[in-house]
């Protein structure tokens, strides 16, 4: 029983990581808008191109920054709504409304309580306090939003179809959810008023330790983030650094910012602030190197090691997998192409990722790499080349990246041939490399449904960037892991307590929609 409880907890962590990706994926457009707006309003660029000093031109680029900061300034409530919707089983609109009410209630309660106790002064707020949706409150960041979203989703799933006594019948069903959410989140505000300052202090202390570790901290951060990818828990490495003072705190243009993403965006928007690698390392400057150079080198090695007759298929597979790595920072498709066939290659890759973080720290490369900043390629342009005056040191991306390409290439090629790893195109006879099609045939859909034990055995279908996540009634009816690759072209299968996660790379979300449509699921 204890073992099963651990598995369920692990599965829930994976689901939370998937839910958190929804608001994070809103950030790329915000980052691009702020990046463009900031790039064309810097003093040196305006001096070089005087036309940029025109009032209306300046207004245009300042509007772009304002549009991007619409997302950056309201991330906590965006997280609250996204988590509530992600976990709500039915009536997701009511869950979203309730999360907004709950988030405002939590902050209003903290405002009234802390102001009454003399702890909070809206005219002179201290570290850890800020204006949240126009309310002077504790700065709980996105974690406050996540807690509200989880609490509201829990209440929503329990009470959205509640039947109250006749005298209160008008409040039955979904109308009860906003009311109970208001009360529960108000209580959460009382708890947070007491607990959160201690959490902030602890995070600040940990942040100082990590900050002082310098290069070693960068290596550990980068290596751990990649190493947890196969378990779907890598989100829990970087998310605290992104959005809490674990990733640093800094005053920029008279305003205190906490969390690496918030600080970097403030630096980007500021006319005077310079980039700081101690902040940038936590928003994945090392990922620019291995996603844009290292993994393409690995892909080329796998292509050259493929059997001649299978190279055309492998080429299509690897190109489709490497494009998102370079342009969006989504590296899972290429990583899963060798993770299950050759786990030792992934161990080497995780080590090289740590090395990339080390080198970018030493060379002070101030270019973020995740998809939330547009991905490595666009980030190199908008946050690197166009922000050279802020100390982006973009030239080092290519000085480090090109050798990294060959390091991956020769390492992978040596290990694949030395240990005869069954990477794409080297499978035994009878195993076929599946091409990444844009549409799924009815035959493929039928195979997947049958492999999951039939339509009656499927309880829930979802997907993240690369995984089709399916909850089933009886796992014994699911076909063996090896059959998924041979029959459906899957890159691998991860077993969880209540189902399976089938890795299809970029096709996962398409497969989810097709599967739901075939099963008539909402």
The Cα-based distances of 35 to 267, 365, 387, 455 in angstroms read 10, 16, 8, 47
With H, G, I as helix, E, B as strand and everything else as coil, classify residue 427: coil
Residues in CB range of 119: below 8 A, 6 or more apart? none
Element (H, E) at 409: helix 395-419
pLDDT at 49 exceeding the cut of 90: no
> Strands of 458-463's sheet, edge to edge?
458-463, 467-472, 499-503, 492-496
Measured distance CA(178)–CA(199) in Å, rounded: 28
Question: Which pLDDT score is estimated for 390?
Answer: 92
Residues in CB range of 132: below 8 A, 6 or more apart? 76, 107, 139, 140, 144
pLDDT at 1 exceeding the cut of 70: no
Residues in CB range of 160: below 8 A, 6 or more apart? 88, 90, 91, 94, 95, 173, 174, 176, 177
Start-to-end Cα distance in the chain: 32
Tell me if the pTM is above 0.75: no
Question: Please, what's the b/e burial string for 256-272 (b: 16 or more CB within 10 A of its CB; e: otherwise)?
Answer: bbbbbbbbbbbbbbeee
Assign 24 a pLDDT band (cuts: 50, 70, 90): low
With H, G, I as helix, E, B as strand and everything else as coil, classify residue 460: strand
pLDDT at 368 exceeding the cut of 90: yes
**Poorest-pLDDT segment among 238-242, 387-391, 402-406:** 238-242
pLDDT at 5 exceeding the cut of 50: no
With H, G, I as helix, E, B as strand and everything else as coil, classify residue 508: helix
CB 310 within 8 A of CB 425: yes
Tell me the three-class secondary structure of 136-191, residue by residue: EEECCHHHHHHHHHHHHHHHHHHHCCCCCCHHHHHHCHHHHHHHHHHHHHHHHHHH
The residues assigned a catalytic role are: 464
Q: What is the average pLDDT value for the chain, to the nearest integer? A: 84
Reading the block at residue 125, the tokens are 């707020």
Measured distance CA(220)–CA(162) in Å, rounded: 48
Alpha helices in 214-310 (DSSP H): 215-227, 235-243, 260-269, 277-280, 285-289, 295-305
With H, G, I as helix, E, B as strand and everything else as coil, classify residue 379: helix
Residues in CB range of 270: below 8 A, 6 or more apart? 252, 253
pLDDT single digits (tens) 130-162: 888 889 998 887 889 989 999 999 999 999 888
**Poorest-pLDDT segment among 128-132, 220-224, 229-233, 502-506:** 229-233
List the domains of the chain with CATH numbers.
Answer: 2-213 (no CATH), 442-519 (3.30.1360.60)
**Poorest-pLDDT segment among 136-145, 178-187, 331-340, 429-438:** 429-438
Measured distance CA(311)–CA(309) in Å, rounded: 6
Query: Which of 334-348, 395-409, 478-492 ranks highest by mean pLDDT?
Result: 395-409
Chain centroid to CA 19: 9
pLDDT single digits (tens) 237-276: 787 888 877 888 888 988 888 889 889 988 988 888 999 9
Which residue in this structure is represented by tokens 């982006």? 392
Element (H, E) at 250: strand 249-252
Chain centroid to CA 86: 15
Nearest CA to 393 among 290, 293, 288, 292? 288
Nearest CA to 174 among 186, 163, 185? 163
| Phi and psi based region of residue 412 (left: phi greater than 0; alpha: psi -120 to 50; beta: remaining) | alpha
Burial of 439 by CB count in 10 Å (0-12 exposed, 13-18 middle, 19+ buried)? exposed
pLDDT at 236 exceeding the cut of 50: yes
pLDDT single digits (tens) 170-180: 877 888 999 99
């Amino acid at each position: 029983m204890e073992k099963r409880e651990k598995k369920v907890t692990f599965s829930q962590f994976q689901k939370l990581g998937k839910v958190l990706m929804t608001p994070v994926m809103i950030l790329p457009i915000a980052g691009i808008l702020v990046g463009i707006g900031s790039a064309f309003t810097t003093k040196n660029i305006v001096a070089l191109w005087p036309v940029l000093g025109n009032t209306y031109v300046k207004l245009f680029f300042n509007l772009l920054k304002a549009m991007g900061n619409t997302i950056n300034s309201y991330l906590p409530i965006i997280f609250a709504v996204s988590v509530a919707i992600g976990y709500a089983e039915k009536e997701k609109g009511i869950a979203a409304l309730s999360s907004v009410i709950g988030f405002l209630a939590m902050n209003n309660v903290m405002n009234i309580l802390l102001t009454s106790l003399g702890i909070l002064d809206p005219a002179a707020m201290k570290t850890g306090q800020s204006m949240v949706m126009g309310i002077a409150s504790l700065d709980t960041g996105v974690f406050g939003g996540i807690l509200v979203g989880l609490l509201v989703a829990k209440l929503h799933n329990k009470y959205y179809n509640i039947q109250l006594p006749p005298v209160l019948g008008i409040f039955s069903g979904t109308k009860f959810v906003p009311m109970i959410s208001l009360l529960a989140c108000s209580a959460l505000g009382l708890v947070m008023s007491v607990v959160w300052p201690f959490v902030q202090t602890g995070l600040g202390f940990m942040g100082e330790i990590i900050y002082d570790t310098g290069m070693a901290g960068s290596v550990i951060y980068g290596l751990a983030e990649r190493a947890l990818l196969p378990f779907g828990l890598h989100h829990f490495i970087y998310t605290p650094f992104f959005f809490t003072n674990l990733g640093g705190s800094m005053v920029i243009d008279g305003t205190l910012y906490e969390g690496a993403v918030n600080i970097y965006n403030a630096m980007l928007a500021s006319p005077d602030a310079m980039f700081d690698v101690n902040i940038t390392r936590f928003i994945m400057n090392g990922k620019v190197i291995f996603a844009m150079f290292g993994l393409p080198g690995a892909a080329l090695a796998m292509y050259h090691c493929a059997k001649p007759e299978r190279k055309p298929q492998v080429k299509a597979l690897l190109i489709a997998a490497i494009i998102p790595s370079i342009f969006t920072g989504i590296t899972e498709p290429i990583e899963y192409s060798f993770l299950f066939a050759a786990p030792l290659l992934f161990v080497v890759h995780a080590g090289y990722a740590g090395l990339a973080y080390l080198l970018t720290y030493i060379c002070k490369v101030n270019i973020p790499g995740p998809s939330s900043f547009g991905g490595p390629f666009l980030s190199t342009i908008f946050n690197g080349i166009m922000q050279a005056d802020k100390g982006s040191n973009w030239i080092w991306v290519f000085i480090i990246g090109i050798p990294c390409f060959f390091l991956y290439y020769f390492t992978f090629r040596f290990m694949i041939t030395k240990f005869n790893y069954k990477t794409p195109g080297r499978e035994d006879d009878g195993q076929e490399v599946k091409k990444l099609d844009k549409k799924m045939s009815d035959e493929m859909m039928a195979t997947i449904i049958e492999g999951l034990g039939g339509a009656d055995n499927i309880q829930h279908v979802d997907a993240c960037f690369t995984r089709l996540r399916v909850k089933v009634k009886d796992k014994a009816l699911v076909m063996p892991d090896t059959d998924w690759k041979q029959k459906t072209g899957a890159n691998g299968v991860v077993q969880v307590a209540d189902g399976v996660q089938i890795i299809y790379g970029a096709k996962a979300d398409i497969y989810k929609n097709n599967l739901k449509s075939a099963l008539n699921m909402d």
